[in-house]
């Protein structure tokens, strides 16, 4: 098989896996490289962070996903760079040669130049982030229960979420439900239902990518859940004490960052031009400028829709791009003409707020409330990989729904647990 | 309620929780202290370590278990000592007064004086141990896949388990099934089914607490699973390279310790006499000598059966002792005469070896194979707390059984995952 072209895919997220699977029956040899041994279903990560699901419910071993795909091998390791001239990916001491390279390395938090904020306002991108946020939230209640000073207790029971996009809305709603329902009866010295959950948005409305009617609805539902919303509030600092909003300081022991994401280091590896957020500016065929054999997909790429606006950083975009790149490589290998420029087929925007409340914008139709929540739930179950995880997530959602409890309320990762 | 006696329980394992629940309708005020926020179902911990179950499947928030019990409160924190004269438990800066104290702090690994071995041969007592062992096992296969030196690859694919008791047998069997079934098809450079699993026992037979026929059966089944068994092999050192057995060295990247447990620090707090393993030598009423208001239960206590032999360190002993202590305290509070000395009602000894193979010794009847495996499974589902966890464990066992896969194959806790 030495004469079959080598396709190297860096990153086994939605984009990378979709490309790998789409090349299953193509005459290429695929190497999938990831620093982790699992594919993560990021849309449900906030449910791990808020104790509703376990990490293994939303993660699958990459090897296991690709085990029956004969032309794919998996390497676990951290890519440190690319040798463009030699066409090699640098993986520790190893060098992995490629004929085609797909960069699908995802995104990380973007603190708009304030990287010191990261220590006080963690974001939610990885399983480690999720279990660490879960620990932080649950520990805040435990510390509050033991605290005798009233103002410190209030600080411990204040949870600030920065960013009114889907991540911020989902986190704020889920923390409010955790405090006001699941934990309500479990403490003696404190009243968890009195916890403050504050959602901070720099702009004039929540979910700015959605139509205004859905933003209004989201705001109403969150307020009904007891979430305080601070609109038009620009964060000027995240510190050990809490969040500074210009003159004001919100005293909060837990501050979570859902305000911005940036591309990964892939742009620097490839010496490619990136936008402010570090995403690689790809051409209409998703290749890097001047590098016709190197593609970028998903959050790694800065791609535009037909109207010139940037595509959202969501799973359907990454998946469609992965498929498109596979098609492009297949055409190239077969000596056929390249496919037409990539065009995103709108799969809708979804965000869940809480129990029986979600919003969906399909473009041609907009849904909110109970119906949107059902569609959101069914879609997410459908897109999970494998029967096992579908059943596990359904069982836990049913239990959460019926009992108002959260089943994964474990404080782990303290080093001695 | 200030005139009701205070019962402080340190540790919310099987013994501590059983005491707390048995005192639910008694005129006492209960404080349950644990360093963790969850009760752990330790008998299934090896299944977390071998990627079959998730941590939250076998752990429940202590607060949630006791939330409807009006006379109980829960404090999360690390006890540092006991002030016997003042009758106070020292919890950080706080002092928790008690009229009755129940020490139920469990056990930790016992390296027979070789504490440096701990770094190379971790034991399995906590959720952190389990996820760390899971990481170590799965990472060994990943490193082997990337390793080019044959002898180092062999070392990476060698898993040594020290101790032929139930923990060692269960771990060895589960690792063998993981390597030879779940991972079998998932690698390209290595053959996971060629991994060596070596079970090392210092004595002449496995499961020494069981009848010899069941030991023989266990040995046969493990060998059939491909486990190598080294009997009469005393470990002389655990190092970075592997295990020294006198003159011989077994080169193994993963060495797990299932050879001995010791009591916790509770004996030192109370200034009580302990056996070699650090367990407190309690009287027939489970009180500490000279401390009629302080009890020790479960693995914290060294108690003897009617024939003078020490009671095994298993959940039924701890639970029965917890109930007994509750009864003793109730009698004391009511001014009634003390109950008869504690007597363990034999609940049997169970150990599982692998798929469709387990051993049970009820004393009057001994079971092995398929029937024992079913009873083992049903008993463990039954003793899990709550419908949610029962359903989740059943779903996963069914899936594991039908597919031979393991669903929680996540390498987590590396700091960047």
CB contact under 8 Å between B392 and A396, yes or no, is yes
Complex ipTM, two decimals?
A: 0.93
CB B15 within 8 A of CB B297: yes
Quick one: CA torsion of B217, B219, B225, B229, rounded to 10 degrees? 180
How do the domains of chain B map onto residue ranges?
A: 6-35+77-109+261-333, 115-259
Q: Which positions in chain B touch A128 (Cβ < 8 Å)?
A: 412-413, 415-417
The alpha-carbon gap from A93 to the nearest alpha carbon of chain B, in Å, equals 10
Kindly give the confidence (pLDDT) of every residue in chain A, 417 residues in length, as a single tens digit, with 9 standing for 90 and above.
Answer: 458 999 999 999 999 999 999 999 999 999 999 999 999 999 999 999 999 999 999 999 999 999 999 999 999 999 999 999 999 999 988 999 999 999 999 988 888 889 899 999 999 999 999 999 999 999 999 999 999 999 999 999 999 999 999 999 999 999 999 999 999 999 999 999 999 999 999 999 999 999 999 999 999 999 999 999 999 999 999 999 999 999 999 999 999 999 877 878 898 999 999 988 889 999 999 999 999 999 999 999 999 888 888 899 999 999 999 999 999 999 999 999 999 999 999 999 999 999 999 999 999 999 999 999 999 999 999 999 889 999 999 999 999 999 999 999 999 986 544
Q: Which residue has the tokens 């949870």?
A: A159
Distance in angstroms (rounded) separating the CA atoms of residues B242 and B176:
18
From the list A37, A186, A388, the residue facing B411 with the nearest CB is: A37
| CATH no. for A6-35+77-109+261-334 | 3.50.50.60
Q: Which positions in chain A touch B128 (Cβ < 8 Å)?
A: 412-413, 415-417
Distance in angstroms (rounded) separating the CA atoms of residues B384 and B403:
24
From the list B73, B187, B410, the residue facing A55 with the nearest CB is: B410
CB contact under 8 Å between A64 and B395, yes or no, is no
pLDDT tens for B371-391 read 999 999 999 999 998 899 999
Copy the structure tokens of residue B347. 């609940």
Give me the catalytic one of A170, A177, A201, A219.
Answer: A170
Q: For an interface test with B, which of A48, A56, A136, A265 has the most B Cβ atoms less than 10 Å from its Cβ?
A: A56
Quick one: CA torsion of B117, B120, B121, B126, rounded to 10 degrees? 100
The alpha-carbon gap from B304 to the nearest alpha carbon of chain A, in Å, equals 30
CB A325 within 8 A of CB A28: no
Q: Nearest-CA residue of chain B relative to A391?
A: B395
- Concatenated DSSP letters for A381-406? HHHSSSHHHHHHHHHHHHHHHHH---
Q: Nearest-CA residue of chain A relative to B147?
A: A94
Distance in angstroms (rounded) separating the CA atoms of residues A105 and A277:
14
Q: Nearest-CA residue of chain B relative to A53?
A: B56
CB contact under 8 Å between B185 and A67, yes or no, is yes
Of A412-416, B127-131, B141-145, B252-256, which range is least confident? Answer: A412-416
The DSSP call for residue B356 is T
CB contact under 8 Å between A407 and B395, yes or no, is no
CB contact under 8 Å between B395 and A388, yes or no, is yes
pLDDT tens for B186-210 read 999 999 999 999 999 999 999 999 9
Q: Nearest-CA residue of chain B relative to A66?
A: B186
What's the pLDDT score for residue B2? 57
What's the pLDDT score for residue B299? 94
Q: For an interface test with A, which of B106, B128, B188, B417 has the most A Cβ atoms less than 10 Å from its Cβ?
A: B417
What's the pLDDT score for residue A416? 47
Of A117, A161, A118, the residue nearest A137 (C-alpha): A161
Q: Which positions in chain A touch B63 (Cβ < 8 Å)?
A: 183, 186-187
pLDDT tens for A382-395 read 999 889 999 999 99
Residue B416 confidence class, pLDDT cut points 50, 70, 90? very low
Q: Which positions in chain A touch B57 (Cβ < 8 Å)?
A: 54
Q: Which residue has the tokens 């491909």?
A: B226
Q: Which positions in chain A touch B417 (Cβ < 8 Å)?
A: 35-36, 126-128
The answer to whether A6-35+77-109+261-334 and A115-259 have equal CATH topology is yes
List the alpha helices (DSSP H) in B183-252: 212-224
| CATH no. for A115-259 | 3.50.50.100
End-to-end CA distance of chain B: 49
CB contact under 8 Å between B407 and A388, yes or no, is yes
Q: Nearest-CA residue of chain B relative to A56?
A: B408
What is the third-level CATH fold of B6-35+77-109+261-333? Answer: FAD/NAD(P)-binding domain (3.50.50)
Of A249, A267, A237, A232, the residue nearest A106 (C-alpha): A267
Q: Under 8 Å CB-to-CB from A156, ≥6 apart: which residues?
A: A140, A141, A143, A144, A147, A253
Residue B306 confidence class, pLDDT cut points 50, 70, 90? confident
Global confidence as pTM: 0.95
pLDDT tens for A136-166 read 999 999 999 999 999 999 999 999 999 999 9
Distance in angstroms (rounded) separating the CA atoms of residues A368 and A352:
9
What's the pLDDT score for residue A417? 45
Residue A9 CA to chain centroid, in angstroms? Answer: 19
Q: For an interface test with A, which of B34, B35, B109, B186 has the most A Cβ atoms less than 10 Å from its Cβ?
A: B186
Q: Which positions in chain B touch A54 (Cβ < 8 Å)?
A: 54-57, 408
Distance in angstroms (rounded) separating the CA atoms of residues B207 and A35:
40
Q: Which residue has the tokens 């990964």?
A: A264
CB contact under 8 Å between A64 and B94, yes or no, is no
The alpha-carbon gap from B410 to the nearest alpha carbon of chain A, in Å, equals 6
CB contact under 8 Å between B410 and A67, yes or no, is no
Q: Under 8 Å CB-to-CB from A370, ≥6 apart: which residues?
A: A356, A357
CB contact under 8 Å between B411 and A36, yes or no, is yes
Of A350, A357, A369, the residue nearest A209 (C-alpha): A350
Give me the catalytic one of B29, B142, B147, B170.
Answer: B170
CB contact under 8 Å between B392 and A388, yes or no, is no
User: Average pLDDT, stretch B120-146?
Assistant: 96
What's the pLDDT score for residue B220? 98
Q: For an interface test with A, which of B388, B396, B402, B414 has the most A Cβ atoms less than 10 Å from its Cβ?
A: B388
End-to-end CA distance of chain A: 49
Q: Mapping DSSP to helix (H, G, I), strand (E, B) and coil, where does residue A187 land? A: coil
Q: For A185-188, which contacts have Cβ atoms below 8 Å and span 24 or more sequence positions?
A: A185/B67, A185/B68, A186/B61, A186/B63, A186/B64, A186/B67, A186/B74, A187/A141, A187/A145, A187/B63, A188/A145, A188/B73, A188/B74
What's the pLDDT score for residue A131? 96
List the alpha helices (DSSP H) in B60-126: 62-65
Q: Which positions in chain A touch B185 (Cβ < 8 Å)?
A: 67-68
CB contact under 8 Å between B56 and A410, yes or no, is yes
CB contact under 8 Å between B409 and A61, yes or no, is yes
Mean pLDDT, chain B, as a whole number? 94
Distance in angstroms (rounded) separating the CA atoms of residues A84 and A38:
28
The alpha-carbon gap from A306 to the nearest alpha carbon of chain B, in Å, equals 36
Catalytic site includes residue A170? yes
Q: Which residue has the tokens 């239960």?
A: B297
Asked if residue B150 has pLDDT above 80, the reply is yes
Q: Mapping DSSP to helix (H, G, I), strand (E, B) and coil, where does residue A46 land? A: helix
Q: Which positions in chain B touch A34 (Cβ < 8 Å)?
A: none
Q: Which residue has the higher pLDDT, A304 or B89?
A: B89
What's the pLDDT score for residue A109? 83
From the list B127, B138, B186, the residue facing A417 with the nearest CB is: B127
Q: Which positions in chain A touch B265 (Cβ < 8 Å)?
A: none
The alpha-carbon gap from B8 to the nearest alpha carbon of chain A, in Å, equals 16
Q: For an interface test with A, which of B30, B52, B63 has the most A Cβ atoms less than 10 Å from its Cβ?
A: B63
CB contact under 8 Å between B35 and A416, yes or no, is yes
Interhelix angle B166-177/B212-224, rounded to 10 degrees, is 20
In a 13 Å sphere around the CA of A91, the CA atoms on its Cβ side amount to: 22
């Amino acid at each position: 098989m030495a004469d079959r072209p080598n396709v190297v895919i860096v990153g086994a997220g939605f984009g990378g896996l979709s490309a790998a699977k789409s090349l299953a029956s193509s005459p290429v040899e695929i190497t999938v490289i990831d620093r982790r041994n699992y594919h993560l279903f990021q849309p449900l990560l906030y449910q791990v962070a808020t104790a509703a699901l376990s990490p293994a419910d939303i993660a699958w071993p990459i090897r296991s996903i690709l085990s029956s795909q004969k032309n794919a091998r998996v390497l676990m390791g951290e890519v440190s760079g690319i040798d463009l001239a030699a066409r090699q990916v640098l993986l520790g001491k190893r060098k992995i040669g490629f004929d085609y390279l797909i960069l699908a390395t995802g995104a990380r938090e973007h603190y708009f130049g304030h990287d010191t904020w990261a220590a006080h306002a963690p974001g939610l991108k990885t399983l480690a982030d999720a279990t660490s946020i879960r620990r932080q939230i649950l520990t805040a209640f435990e510390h509050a229960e033991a605290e005798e000073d009233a103002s410190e207790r209030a600080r411990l029971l204040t949870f600030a979420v920065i960013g009114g996009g889907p991540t911020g809305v989902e986190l704020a709603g889920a923390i409010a439900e955790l405090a006001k329902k699941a934990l309500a009866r479990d403490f003696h010295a404190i009243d968890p239902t009195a916890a403050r959950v504050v959602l901070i948005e720099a702009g004039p409305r929540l979910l700015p990518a959605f139509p205004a009617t859905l933003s209004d609805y989201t705001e109403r539902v969150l307020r009904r859940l007891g979430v305080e919303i601070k609109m038009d509030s620009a964060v000027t600092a995240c510190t050990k004490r809490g969040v500074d909003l210009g003159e004001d300081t919100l005293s909060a022991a837990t501050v979570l960052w859902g305000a911005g994401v940036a591309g990964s280091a892939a742009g620097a590896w490839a010496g490619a031009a990136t936008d402010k957020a570090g995403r690689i500016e790809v051409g209409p065929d998703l290749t890097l400028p001047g590098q016709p054999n190197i593609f970028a997909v998903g959050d790694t790429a800065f791609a535009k829709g037909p109207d010139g606006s940037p595509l959202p950083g969501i799973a359907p975009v990454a998946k469609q791009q992965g498929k498109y790149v596979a098609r492009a490589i297949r055409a190239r290998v077969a000596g056929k003409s390249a496919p037409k420029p990539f065009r995103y087929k709108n799969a809708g925007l979804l965000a869940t707020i809480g129990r029986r409340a979600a919003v969906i914008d399909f473009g041609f139709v907009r849904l909110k409330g109970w119906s949107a929540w059902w569609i959101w739930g069914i879609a997410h179950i459908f897109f999970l990989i494998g029967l096992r995880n579908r059943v596990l997530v359904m069982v836990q959602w049913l239990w959460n729904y019926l009992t108002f409890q959260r089943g994964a309320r474990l404080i782990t990762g303290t080093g001695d647990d």
